[in-house]
A = this chain, B = another copy of it.
Amino acid sequence: MTDVAAFSFNKLVIFGVGLIGGSLARALRERGERGEAAGARTVIGVGRSPASTARALELGVVDETAALGDDVALRAALSGADFVLLAAPVAQTQPLLERIAPFLDTNTIVTDAGSTKSDVVAAARAALGVRIAQFVPGHPIAGREASGPDAALPDLYVNRNVVLCPLPENAPEAVERVAAMWRATGACVRDMTPEQHDRVLASVSHLPHVLSFALVEQILNSPDAALKFSFAAGGFRDFTRIAASSPEMWRDVCVANRVALLDELDAYTAVLARLRAAIDAGDGAALEAVFARSRVARSEWQEQRTNAAALGDASK
């Protein structure tokens, strides 16, 4: 394991200065400003939207900005970069990497923050060809329903999991450097294969987002939507918090992780059908058995999470 204290770098270039990219930038820049190891000296933000990069600069999330369409500025930004982070919706992975490739130094390590990994790996292979060894796929599992540079927080990754999905072509040192960068934000780094990552995240993240969006959509479609919303309370609030997430990001996730997500959705629909039959039959015992099992599992999960947070361990 690369020691965070022995690790340093000068220049980080972030494509996408929203919640995810901006939070990494803030965490590493604050380390740099405090003179701590593993701090970034210079963070350059590149984005599609001039308003967004300008806002990131104004907030002090990044030191400099560059426009994606400006060859000269992009070449200067990428020259001598230690790291490049892609933090844009996953469908942009391939066009972004194709745009970056001509300006990429051989020593620069590229990583990403995409919520899906199999499609990102395929996009990176298509865009980078023989230079694929420079790309270390990653996914920081942290989020808020808010998006954009204003939502970025320097402590977003403290005690959060970051998954890396190293490729056979990656040099172990490259993977270790990406891991050390994330550990410097307070995150816990764990390795998975892209397939394993996509199956697990389809279950515990992508599916709940679809289910939450679907509930709000269903209420909107009903004739008494306003009355229903006016009686919605705390249970609805928490269940639908993630229905305020970025539509573009979640559109891309659903399309990119289609196979795993459909598997989980179908398994979920089967559970719902079983509960429907029990409700229809008035089978209270069957319902209570499921609810009691869920309550125990959910309560144990919360307890382990609370204990792990107290120990500063994001892996539990």
Interface membership of A125, Cβ < 8 A = no
Residue of B nearest to A239 (CB): B208
A209-224 residues with Cβ-Cβ distance < 8 A to B are 209-222, 224
Q: Report whether A215 and B211 are in contact in the complex, using a CB–CB cutoff of 8 Å.
A: yes
Scoring A residues 217 to 254 as 1 if CB is less than 8 Å from chain B, else 0, what string do you get? 11111101001111111111111111111111011101
Judge whether B233 and A242 touch: CB under 8 Å: no
Q: Which residue of B lies closest to A244 (CB)?
A: B298
Tell me how far the C-beta of A284 lies from the nearest C-beta in chain B, rounded to whole angstroms: 5
Any chain B CB within 8 A of the CB of A207? yes
Instruction: Verify A280–B258 contact, CB threshold 8 A.
Output: yes
Residue of B nearest to A242 (CB): B235
Known: A261-B279, A293-B217. A141 touches B298 (CB 8 A): no
Is there a chain B Cβ closer than 8 Å to A49's Cβ? no
| Among candidates B200, B211, B220, B234, residue contacting A211 with C-beta atoms closer than 8 Å | B211
* Given A224-B199, A229-B204: A213 and B248 interface contact (C-beta under 8 Å): no
Is A48 on the interface with B (CB-CB < 8 A)? no
Given contacts A251-B287, A268-B218, A294-B243, contact A233 B203 (CB under 8 A): no
A9 shortest CB reach to chain B, Å:
27
Known A221-B271, A227-B200, A250-B287; contact A244-B205, beta-carbon cutoff 8 A: no
A292, closest chain B residue (CB): B247
- In the complex, whether A65 has a CB less than 8 A from a CB of chain B is no
Q: A294 touching B220 by the CB < 8 A rule?
A: yes
CB distance from A275 to the nearest CB of B (A): 6
Judge whether A59 is part of the interface by a CB distance below 8 angstroms. Answer: no
Give Cα A15–Cα B291 distance, bound, in whole angstroms.
24
Q: Are A288 and B247 in contact (CB under 8 A)?
A: yes
Residues A295 and B243 in contact, CB atoms below 8 Å apart:
yes
Asked if A233 and B160 make an inter-chain contact with CB atoms under 8 angstroms apart, the answer reads yes
The answer to whether B265 and A216 touch across the interface, beta carbons within 8 angstroms, is no
CA separation between A227 and B204, bound complex, in Å? 10
Q: Give chain B residues whose Cβ lies under 8 Å from the Cβ of A207.
A: 215
Q: Which residue of B lies closest to A263 (CB)?
A: B222
Query: Does A41 count as interface, using CB distance less than 8 angstroms?
Result: no
Residues of B within 8 Å of A200, CB to CB, are: 224, 227-228, 231
Q: How far is the CA of A309 from the CA of B260 in the complex (A)?
A: 41
| Residue A80, interface by CB 8 Å | no
Cβ-defined partner of A252 (8 Å) among B235, B268, B284 = B284
Q: A50 to nearest B CB, angstroms?
A: 23
- A79 within 8 Å of B (CB atoms): no
Q: Show 14 A/B contacts (Cβ-Cβ < 8 Å), sorted by A.
A: A91-B284, A196-B227, A204-B235, A205-B232, A211-B272, A215-B268, A217-B294, A218-B264, A220-B294, A239-B241, A243-B298, A245-B295, A255-B284, A269-B276
